[in-house]
Structure formats: structure tokens, C-alpha cells
Amino acid sequence: MSGESKKVEDMNYFELIAWLGIGSSHPGGFPATQQNLAAMQIETEQYVLDAGCGSGLTACHLAKTTGCKIIGIDISAEMVEKASLRAEKEGVSHLVQFRVADVYDLPFDDNHFDFVMAESITVFLDKVKVYQEFYRVLKPEGRVADLEMVILAELPPNIRTEMKACFGSATNPLPYEEYLEALTQAGFLEVELKNPQRMKSNGNVILSELKKDWVLVKGLAEKASYLPSLMTRLRKNSSFMKKNRGYFGFGLICGRKPTPPTPPARPEKVGFKDWMRKLLHRK
């Protein structure tokens, strides 16, 4: 999608963030990412998938800080292009690769990754189906960690409608317990919630991240003529979150893929000759 061929006000939420190339388009922004990565303790030798990686800020940061190998996938070719450019500019292309793929049908073999992470993607999708796909590509003992927006109370219909107008009609945050239940249904063990937080007063991560991320800052000059409608659009999302932040929180939904249970030991096969021998030697 090219921003030049579509007006900002006509873009859907994913098109908007891909056009901007926003790096931390999730609740809590980059500080939440740093806090979560610290809790996950990913090691150098681990092989990581960042599902719905956006413009690759988290994946590149993880590569730089741990030296582990990462694949980031996203359904948006525009995001993947920006993520690859980021990896190149930040000198981590030897560790991180980005490719276009659908999280419902990952182009990887079973039992492939040590770690699957996601940030603000399952909130828009069928949680159990996505977690089943994560389960498939994880090695036994592999871990999943998914940072998502959650609801702390039932959303009144008018707020749900407004939320969908801001973030897209598929937006469907659940209470924490239901995310954990979805992980369990997909087969994960040790499901738990880490780093739960309430939504901050500055709910709009895009506005707060604008100043920090060079991919965004670089692109803004070219987008100057779009700025008035862009700011209107971002303020709409921001004021929705500020007004309704009491309903929302976010946290890291974690689980572990079990080691396949070892099949029960078969009883020793006793052939006819052995049976006769045993019988004859019996007193």
C-alpha cells in the first residue's frame, strides 16, 4: 500500500501504521518491550520468531542486545521492507531476517523455534488459531510470550464501537483469563501473565513514539503535506484511549510447549520358545 495513493483518513489502522513505519505499535510502547524482554531472558543461542513484527524495532533491539538469531514476519510488505532497512542500517542483518507471511499459516517446519514472541497482533485475530500455529512451530520446551491489550471490565457497546473505529473492526481485546485459556486450549503448559499494567494516561503510543524512532522521523518530512489529517487521525485514537483508559490494561501472556510425553514402555515380548523354556524350568 502506498500512502501517496490513499488519503490518511481512508487508511485502515494497519495501513496507517505501515505507512508511518511505526516501531512500537503496542500498548506500553518500547518501555514495555524492554521490560518484557528482560523478563523473558532470551539467550544468544536461541532461535526466535517475532510474529507480526511491524517495522522491526523489537527484533533489531533483541538481536543487538542478545546476539540471538531472529526471524520477523508480517503480512504487510510495506512493514517488512521498512524492517529490513532498519536491520541493515543498524548492522544486524546477519542476525535478523524479515519476510512477508501470514501468522495463521507460518512458512516454517514444526518444532523450529526456541521462542515465539508477539506484540499487539492476537488482539486483532483468532487467538486460539494463532496460538496453535505458534505451538506447531515451537520446539518442545519452547516458550511463547505475547504482549496484548486486555480489558479490565466489560466494554459498553458504544465504547466497543468507538474502539473499532479507531483500531479496526477486528479489534477484540479479552480479559487476561481468556487469553490464558486460549493458550491452554492450544496445548501450552505453565500459562501465566507477566508484567500486567493498566493503560497509561498517554494511551497513544504512536504520538509518543513519533519522536524516538528514526524510521518515523526520517519519513515525516516526506509526509509533511499529510500532517494535518495525520494529526487529526492520531488525536482521535489518543483521545479515545485517554477517555476510556480505565477499561484497558496490557500484559505478557506466557506459556511453554510441553515435551511430548514418552510413550508407555511396552511389556517385553515373550516368544513361544521362551515361554516353553520358562515352563520347563519351573519346578
Ligand X SMILES: C[S@@+](CC[C@H](N)C(=O)[O-])C[C@H]1O[C@@H](n2cnc3c(N)ncnc32)[C@H](O)[C@@H]1O
Q: Which residues bind ligand X (CB under 6 A)?
A: 14, 17, 23-26, 52-54, 73-76, 79, 102-104, 119-121, 124
Q: Minimum CB separation from ligand X for residue 269, in Å? A: 49
Angle between the N-to-C axes of helices 29-40 and 57-66, in degrees from 0 to 180, rounded to the nearest 10: 40
Q: Minimum CB separation from ligand X for residue 124, in Å? A: 6
The grid coordinates listed for 130 are: 494463532
Q: Minimum CB separation from ligand X for residue 268, in Å? A: 50
Q: What angle do CA 53, 58, 62 make, to 5 degrees?
A: 125
Give the nearer residue to ligand X in terms of CB position, either 56 or 142.
56
Q: Minimum CB separation from ligand X for residue 30, in Å? A: 9
Give the nearer residue to ligand X in terms of CB position, either 54 or 255.
54
Q: Minimum CB separation from ligand X for residue 8, in Å? A: 17
Of the candidates 153, 150, 114, 152, the one whose C-alpha atom is nearest the C-alpha of residue 134 is 114
Give the nearer residue to ligand X in terms of CB position, either 53 or 253.
53
Give the nearer residue to ligand X in terms of CB position, either 162 or 258.
162
Q: Minimum CB separation from ligand X for residue 204, in Å? A: 13
Residue 230 CB contacts under 8 Å (≥ 6 apart), including other chains: 8, 223
Three-class HEC string of the chain: CCHHHCCHHHCCHHHHHHHHCCCCCCCCHHHHHHHHHHHHCCCCCCEEEEECCCCCHHHHHHHHHHCCEEEEEECCHHHHHHHHHHHHHCCCCCCEEEEECCCCCCCCCCCCEEEEEEECCHHHCCHHHHHHHHHHHEEEEEEEEEEEEEECCCCCHHHHHHHHHHHCCCCCCECHHHHHHHHHHCCCEEEEEEEEEECCCCCCHHHHHCCCCHHHHHHHCCCHHHHHHHHHHHHHHHHHHHHHHHHEEEEEEEEECCCCCCCCCCCCCCCHHHHHHHHHHCC
Give the nearer residue to ligand X in terms of CB position, either 126 or 141.
126
Q: Minimum CB separation from ligand X for residue 152, in Å? A: 20
Q: Minimum CB separation from ligand X for residue 23, in Å? A: 6
Give the nearer residue to ligand X in terms of CB position, either 39 or 270.
39
Point out the residue whose Cβ comes nearest to ligand X.
54
Give the nearer residue to ligand X in terms of CB position, either 3 or 54.
54
Give the nearer residue to ligand X in terms of CB position, either 248 or 279.
248
